[in-house]
Structure 1
Amino acid sequence: MKYLRIINFLIISILAVSCQEDDLELQDMAVPSNITVNADISTDGSGIVHFDVSADNAFTYQFNFGDGTTGTSLDGKITKRFSRNGLNTYLVTVVAFGKGGISSSKSVEIEVESDFSDPETKDYLTGGSSKTWYVAASEPGHLGVGPTFGDNFNNPSYYTAAPFEKAGADASSCFYTDELTFSTTGENNFTYEYNNNGRTFFNADFVGEFGGPTGSGDQCIEVDFGGEKNVALSPATSGVEASTGTQMDFSDGGFMSYYIATSSYEILSIDENSMYVRAVMGNNPDLAWYLKFTTTPYDQQEAGGGTEEPEEFQTEFEDLLWETSFDDETSLDTSVWNYEIGNGDNGWGNQEAQYYTEDNTSIVDGNLLITARRESESGFEFTSSRITTQDNFEFTYGRVEVRAKLPEGGGTWPAIWMLGNNFDEVGWPTTGEIDIMEHKGNEPGIIHGSLHYPGASGGNADTNTTTIENPSSEFHTYTMEWSAERIVFLVDDEVYHTYANTPESPFNKDFFLILNVAMGGTFGGEIDENFQESSMEVDYVRVYQ
Structure 2
Amino acid sequence: MYGRLRPPPAARAPRTTGTPVFTADFTSTAQWVAGRTWAYPGGGPINPGDDKLDHLVADPSYARTGTFRATRRHDGLWNAGLLTTEGSAEGFALRTGDVLTARVRLPVGAGAWPAIWTWRDGDQEIDVFEYHPDNPDLLELSNRVRGGHHYHRAPSIGPGRWIDLTVEFGPRSVVWWVNGERAHADRRGVGWRWRAYLIVNLSVCAGHYHPAPEEHVSELSYEVAGVQVYRR
Question: For this structure pair, what is the TM-score category when the shorter chain's length is used for normalisation?
Answer: 0.7 to 0.9
Amino acid aligned to 2:171: A
Q: Distance in 1 between matches of 2:31 and 2:84?
A: 8
Q: Structure 1 residue 340 and structure 2 residue 35: aligned?
A: yes
Query: Partner residue of 1:467?
Result: 154
Query: Partner residue of 1:514?
Result: 199
Q: Distance in 2 between matches of 1:496 and 1:321?
A: 25
Pick aligned residue for 2:62 from 341, 357, 361: 361
State the 1:435 CA deviation: 0.4
Contact 2:62–2:70 (CA under 8 A) maintained in structure 1: no
Query: Partner residue of 2:6?
Result: none
State the 1:437 CA deviation: 0.8
Query: Partner residue of 2:86?
Result: 390
- CA deviation map 1:321-376 (0-9, x unaligned): 211256xxxxx211111123499447253021121112252555xxx111011223
State the 1:318 CA deviation: 1.7
State the 1:313 CA deviation: 6.0
**Residues 442 and 487 from structure 1, CA distance in 2 versus in 1: closer, same or farther, beyond 3 angstroms?**
same
Query: Partner residue of 1:485?
Result: 172
Contact 1:387–1:516 (CA under 8 A) maintained in structure 2: yes
Amino acid aligned to 2:99: R
Q: Structure 1 residue 498 and structure 2 residue 185: aligned?
A: yes
Greater RCO structure (CA 8 Å; 6+ sep): 2
Pick aligned residue for 2:102 from 402, 411, 415: 402
Amino acid aligned to 1:511: A
Q: Distance in 2 between matches of 1:472 and 1:528?
A: 16
Contact 2:124–2:194 (CA under 8 A) maintained in structure 1: no
Q: Distance in 1 between matches of 2:29 and 2:64?
A: 13
Query: Partner residue of 1:532?
Result: 218
The higher radius of gyration belongs to 1
Correspondence list, 1:191-340, <5 A? 314-315=14-15, 317-319=16-18, 320-324=20-24, 332-340=27-35
Q: Distance in 2 between matches of 1:475 and 1:494?
A: 15
Q: Distance in 1 between matches of 2:192 and 2:69?
A: 30
Q: Distance in 2 between matches of 1:381 and 1:348?
A: 10
Q: Distance in 1 between matches of 2:186 and 2:63?
A: 35
Query: Partner residue of 1:106?
Result: none
- The TM-score normalised by the length of structure 1 is 0.35
Amino acid aligned to 2:137: G
State the 1:542 CA deviation: 0.5
**Residues 449 and 371 from structure 1, CA distance in 2 versus in 1: closer, same or farther, beyond 3 angstroms?**
same
Amino acid aligned to 1:386: L
**Residues 507 and 416 from structure 1, CA distance in 2 versus in 1: closer, same or farther, beyond 3 angstroms?**
farther
Pick aligned residue for 2:141 from 440, 446, 449: 449
Query: Partner residue of 1:216?
Result: none
Query: Partner residue of 2:5?
Result: none
Pick aligned residue for 1:433 from 114, 118, 125: 125
Contact 2:140–2:149 (CA under 8 A) maintained in structure 1: no
**Residues 348 and 334 from structure 1, CA distance in 2 versus in 1: closer, same or farther, beyond 3 angstroms?**
farther
Query: Partner residue of 1:374?
Result: 72
Q: Distance in 1 between matches of 2:223 and 2:13?
A: 26
State the 1:534 CA deviation: 2.2
Query: Which segments of structure 1 move beyond 6 Å, counting only runs of 4 or more?
Result: none
State the 1:398 CA deviation: 1.3
- CA deviation map 1:72-122 (0-9, x unaligned): xxxxxxxxxxxxxxxxxxxxxxxxxxxxxxxxxxxxxxxxxxxxxxxxxxx
Contact 2:126–2:145 (CA under 8 A) maintained in structure 1: no
- CA deviation map 1:123-155 (0-9, x unaligned): xxxxxxxxxxxxxxxxxxxxxxxxxxxxxxxxx
Q: Distance in 1 between matches of 2:217 and 2:136?
A: 15
Q: Distance in 2 between matches of 1:527 and 1:417?
A: 23
**Residues 494 and 523 from structure 1, CA distance in 2 versus in 1: closer, same or farther, beyond 3 angstroms?**
farther
Amino acid aligned to 2:72: R
Contact 1:448–1:466 (CA under 8 A) maintained in structure 2: no
State the 1:452 CA deviation: 1.0
- The TM-score normalised by the length of structure 2 is 0.78
**Residues 314 and 404 from structure 1, CA distance in 2 versus in 1: closer, same or farther, beyond 3 angstroms?**
closer
- CA deviation map 1:202-257 (0-9, x unaligned): xxxxxxxxxxxxxxxxxxxxxxxxxxxxxxxxxxxxxxxxxxxxxxxxxxxxxxxx
Contact 1:413–1:524 (CA under 8 A) maintained in structure 2: no
Contact 2:111–2:133 (CA under 8 A) maintained in structure 1: yes
Amino acid aligned to 1:447: L
Is there any run of 5+ residues in structure 1 with no aligned partner, and where?
A: 1-311, 327-331
Q: Structure 1 residue 543 and structure 2 residue 216: aligned?
A: no
Amino acid aligned to 1:356: L
Percentage of matched positions with identical amino acids: 21
Contact 1:432–1:506 (CA under 8 A) maintained in structure 2: no
Q: Distance in 2 between matches of 1:472 and 1:410?
A: 10
Secondary structure in structure 2 of the residue aligned to 1:447: strand
State the 1:540 CA deviation: 0.9
Is there any run of 5+ residues in structure 2 with no aligned partner, and where?
A: 1-11
Root-mean-square deviation over aligned CA pairs:
2.7
